[in-house]
Structure 1
């Protein structure tokens, strides 16, 4: 097939920016379970048991497979673990399990070469396989750079030949935090550097006529991760390649944060038709990752069947001031410090179905009312606008919480400066009475091409509430933004997404879908700098859940920081301590440090590299031993795990970043 013919529009990174179209990649056979091409999106995860413990590794692999895992990845940090992969494989086969195994290799070529003769796939990280990562600033001349490449090829070629001889597939997996000093010297800590790190190894494989490749570009920063994958596809297409993509946000964390962050990164790329296999990295038992990955993947398998009913939209010119490979927020007008411009994205919540006779209903929205003091206390996740439709509260709202009403109801409240109207497009055009400071108008993408929009009176009080009913709603809403940008319209835009799930689904199922779908749909636009506010409309889940999810999406896209961020790895056989227990312990003492990023890494492999984006790091370096970091710099080595958290807090205090937790 002509790879270039399948890629996007004018050198972009996907087939279409306005309708769902799967980017077709080369099909790769991994132990009989094929990936890429027209195959379904494959689900995988990684064991956390010690690889040398055959019984534990087999038992955990079976739990993962029974949950729906199609490829099982196992760490092999040394020859000893690589050898034991054969015993794990035997144990699985003896129990009737033939799921392909993947060996995860970092620093040891000899372990990779042995593993490649045993398992169906090996994963290597270009940043530390045959390359150097010492966090040193080295200036490489072109001659020195080429000499290093020749050295790498000499060390890497034997693994390629073994994979060819044994029918073993390979993932070339670049991680943002472990780019080599050589790559850093030429490209810096950038998506371009990540792509070039992988392409060097891919080109070696092509020279050696080996093509059973899968490629990944992982980062804990969703902006960097998405930009790197897009740039990778563009680069591969330009060089006549279309290898399948393994998608994942590395060190995403646990619970709600981990799920939202994973959906923002993985979902954004799936929306554009990219991705052939996914792994959701959570600091939890690996079998709990599978339902999350399945919920993400199944959405796109279902979409293929229903999109025929959607009216296809023609592709059009990308705005000149927009790039999918770098973050730039869309320029919008700033309305009286309410919304737009340099303001953080606002959060809107529908409270029209709540009991508006009790001020306590606002607690879930971030406003805690004290009857004794007759005042509200704001939390870190306090909404900015409450939509009340036509319902009037019987209590006073806090002064900094703006109320939104349907236009006709607002007419009876227009003297209240804290109340603002929500119009339909027709209502706004014909209305003679409008708010002096803020008018919200509901619109959809198709409105831009109609007469009503052409007659719209623009002024500096106008805000669009952008809705969609399309199956591929993210692309529909993105098209709206691009049309505004091409027309030079800087009106602020609130992105609204509405979700309704089958009544037969459990509350947990509805919550998971609401969380993942909204993180994908809203997050994809926010990552590209599109949107001045979010409105998550999902009446089947609780008010508190919608608020938490909305702020979680803003946090995961780096659009609005409202809490501490934890960059914690999902654990594996290299881990030196109980990651779940330790993460919760650290979270319990530091979760009030708004805006601080703390990396919690189970081993030195995932230490200074994978937490490169963190402000502070807590890294296992041996049994009972922790090394503490400030950014990428070691502050204290081999601290006893009994006292490591206190030592970490002391470092944060020394930097002036500690505040005492408020007791309510």
Structure 2
């Protein structure tokens, strides 16, 4: 694999109605309705809004045979109004439903974790090799007739593995691991290959971006080993809403798109489905803009493991590198040093203007030509100034340097001075490739200087900035290269404090530094039997000051308990107007009336000592 030069992975073309994906087709955009599938008109109207926003596929939850049969009416209603986007049926727990849905939808999604295997119980079960093989035969016996129906009706399928719904059988052999997710998918793909069924798309998702990215990388590698080239559907499940949902989705999906992986994407936001489409469109357009970029002559470091990355070894310089959390540096080239206490940068980069006001807990980085040895300021300098300044008494020194300036002479200076922090920068159309090239070259040369990534933008829209910055940082974080981030935006309408918050949000989405409460909330679908958006707002209002706490807010049990295994507390739809509360994987209280459930959640958090008042210092 070429880590430095962008090109799309070659995949098979799959026919989904009149909108094929994979092969030479564009990266497709899709969303999912959150209306009740038996409400034909509501589904049609919402599907139209998704399509009008630019959605190319529309997925609908299909809980039972009745819902599967009603896809016929929804499909016909859309076609009568001139909407030809393919429909995708989303099936869990009942393979008979998939058989019926294949008659009326252009694609059917099945979940290997609950297609034939019993619903996950989280209990430790043991299978002998013989028993395990027998379970695979059960899958084959039930899956092959479904494939035959799909062949006869020209229906594509999506094998959709979710981290939160791995079967107990897979868990018994592989545990709750990326390897287990990959094997869950491969069991079904091998049957497809045996049956010569090729209209298959794969998704393999998680709410944890680290798990999601690692798993897709492993899956692509395993498929290549077994001679498969099925197209990939990318998504971060339960990404949440607002800025957090956008940053988390762009970080995870963008990291994979940047490596050429992905043929269709869904940005899962806890908002109206049509709101997902512009976010997905911006992300795809930003990544594919790298096509045909000038060649980057990068050389991979032998010790780098793309499939099992770990944090790059560095020597700590002050609070940067080593075992320290990645730092946030905020560019303040004007006299504006306002900060939000929760998102307070570790350093201000001030260029040549030494600030008049000082904060004792924040260091100032000034350009070396302006540095006079003032206390609490740390010089940044270019290579030409290196020799005269390397003996300065500043506690931390920074070197701004692009990949192509990392010459033998520069490398020798850095080797002699591990106390210098590298600030990597790039103006290349594929900045990820150049920044990766710089870090790999440092590894090849045995340099252990910490690396902070300088990301420069010219955006006037905060969402655009968040999507681009998260997409650019994703692979660098997941590769283990990030000791810090500096986002500088040369725009007029985005406040510096929002840029700081974006930087911290990127680090949290990448699971390398926590600065606030994390919410794992699903986008909702026809299975959701309570008002998801208003509930999320109420829970956030009561808990957003609980830094480091993870709270799952799930519409139903399909992925709820599983995806929430990573959360401290969970709020899960149990039925119409009924909620169950979880602590980790354990259900603490069932069937609470919705109107009392948020209050009960807060009581549960307090009872376990994890709640403090909002005015407490963060």
Q: Give the TM-score category using the shorter length.
A: over 0.9
In structure 2, the residue matched to 1:537 is 488
1:300 and 1:562 map into 2 onto residues whose CA distance is: 28
| Structure 1 range deviating more: 339-348 or 450-459 | 450-459
1:441 and 1:346 map into 2 onto residues whose CA distance is: 16
In structure 1, the residue matched to 2:262 is 275
**How far apart are 1:298 and its partner, in Å?**
1.0
In structure 2, the residue matched to 1:323 is 305
**How far apart are 1:41 and its partner, in Å?**
0.5
**How far apart are 1:486 and its partner, in Å?**
2.3
Q: Which runs of 5+ in 2 are unaligned?
A: none
1:40–1:301 Cα contact (<8 Å) kept = no
2:139 and 2:295 map into 1 onto residues whose CA distance is: 50
In structure 2, the residue matched to 1:398 is 359
1:347 and 1:163 map into 2 onto residues whose CA distance is: 51
The structure-2 alpha-carbon separation of the partners of 1:456 and 1:623, relative to structure 1 and needing over 3 Å to count, comes to closer
**How far apart are 1:157 and its partner, in Å?**
1.6
- State the aligned residue count: 614
**How far apart are 1:542 and its partner, in Å?**
2.1
Deviations 1:286-313 (A, max 9, x none): 0000000000111233222x51xx1342
The structure-2 alpha-carbon separation of the partners of 1:606 and 1:615, relative to structure 1 and needing over 3 Å to count, comes to same
Q: TM-score, normalised by structure 2?
A: 0.97
2:235–2:253 Cα contact (<8 Å) kept = yes
Q: How does 1:447-462 map to 2 (within 5 A)?
A: 447-456=405-414, 458-462=416-420
2:254–2:287 Cα contact (<8 Å) kept = no
User: Does 1:465 pair with 2:423?
Assistant: yes
2:516–2:545 Cα contact (<8 Å) kept = yes
In structure 2, the residue matched to 1:74 is 60
**How far apart are 1:663 and its partner, in Å?**
7.1
SS in 1 for 2:436: helix
2:295 to 288, 311, 324: 311
In structure 2, the residue matched to 1:657 is 610
Greater than 4 Å deviation, 4+ residue runs? none
Q: How does 1:167-178 map to 2 (within 5 A)?
A: 167-178=154-165
2:414–2:420 Cα contact (<8 Å) kept = no
1:457 and 1:27 map into 2 onto residues whose CA distance is: 49
1:319–1:482 Cα contact (<8 Å) kept = no
In structure 1, the residue matched to 2:330 is 349
2:26 and 2:390 map into 1 onto residues whose CA distance is: 54
1:432 and 1:478 map into 2 onto residues whose CA distance is: 26
User: Does 1:295 pair with 2:282?
Assistant: yes
Q: How does 1:128-277 map to 2 (within 5 A)?
A: 128-132=114-118, 133-277=120-264
| Structure 1 range deviating more: 551-560 or 420-429 | 420-429
SS in 1 for 2:350: strand
Q: How does 1:579-598 map to 2 (within 5 A)?
A: 579-598=532-551
2:550 and 2:413 map into 1 onto residues whose CA distance is: 47
1:448–1:454 Cα contact (<8 Å) kept = no
1:608 to 556, 561, 582: 561
2:616 and 2:127 map into 1 onto residues whose CA distance is: 54
1:511 to 438, 462, 480: 462
1:644 to 585, 592, 597: 597
In structure 1, the residue matched to 2:51 is 65
1:123 and 1:435 map into 2 onto residues whose CA distance is: 62
Q: TM-score, normalised by structure 1?
A: 0.90
Deviations 1:559-608 (A, max 9, x none): 10000000000011110101101001101001111111111011121321
SS in 1 for 2:103: coil
2:22–2:231 Cα contact (<8 Å) kept = yes
**How far apart are 1:457 and its partner, in Å?**
6.2
In structure 2, the residue matched to 1:441 is 399
The CA RMSD measured in Å over matched residues stands at 1.5
In structure 1, the residue matched to 2:314 is 332
**How far apart are 1:319 and its partner, in Å?**
3.1
1:464–1:494 Cα contact (<8 Å) kept = yes
2:548 and 2:308 map into 1 onto residues whose CA distance is: 22
SS in 2 for 1:464: strand
